[in-house]
């Protein structure tokens, strides 16, 4: 693990404002990844979701879990020059609101990987407390 970059932008094609990971904490290629995302008070979506009571949209939390899982996939040499694309979500549960200034710890474990795609189980934690959980599905395509 020590030789793997912990910078999400070294793994993902996403860039601001849609790169939803600040740092990788752990990467086990093809198996799992853990990341952090700190939500600043001036995130553009807070202005409209909701005025006077800003809450991180659930779909962005699901996307951040998927981005964390994508790093685990892309760190596996079998998927170099590939791009995992979000294909579905099941069993999503939102248990705690994520607010401006919160730091979310994201975890995603691969349940199944094949040449064409796979599934993962992920969660977002706020101070160790479960905020979001879901199973994600993805397809793998050529990135070039």
The pair phi, psi for residue 20, each rounded to 5°, is -105, 20
Which of these, 16, 19, 98, 80, lies nearest to 8 by C-alpha position?
A: 19
Residues whose CB falls within 8 Å of the CB of residue 10, separated by 6 or more in sequence, listed in order: none
Q: CA–CA distance from 126 to each of 30, 103, 113 (Å)?
A: 25, 7, 28
Query: Which H or E run includes 107?
Result: strand 103-113
Set 49, 92, 99, 105: catalytic member: 49
Does the annotation mark 14 as catalytic?
no
Residues whose CB falls within 8 Å of the CB of residue 100, separated by 6 or more in sequence, listed in order: 39, 40, 41, 43, 46, 54
Q: Which residues are catalytic?
A: 49
């Amino acid at each position: 693990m020590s030789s793997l970059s912990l910078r999400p932008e070294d793994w993902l094609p996403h860039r601001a404002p849609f790169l939803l990971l600040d740092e990788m904490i752990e990467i086990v290629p093809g198996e799992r990844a853990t990341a952090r995302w700190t939500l600043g008070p001036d995130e553009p979506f807070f202005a409209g979701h909701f005025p006077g009571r800003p809450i991180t949209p659930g779909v962005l939390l699901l996307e951040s879990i998927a981005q964390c899982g994508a790093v685990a996939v892309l760190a596996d040499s079998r998927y170099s020059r590939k791009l995992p694309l979000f294909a579905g979500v099941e069993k999503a549960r939102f248990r705690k609101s994520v607010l401006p200034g919160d730091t979310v710890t994201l975890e995603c474990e691969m349940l199944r990987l094949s040449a064409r795609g796979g599934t993962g189980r992920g969660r977002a934690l706020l101070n160790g407390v479960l905020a979001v959980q879901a199973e994600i599905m993805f397809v793998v395509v050529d990135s070039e």
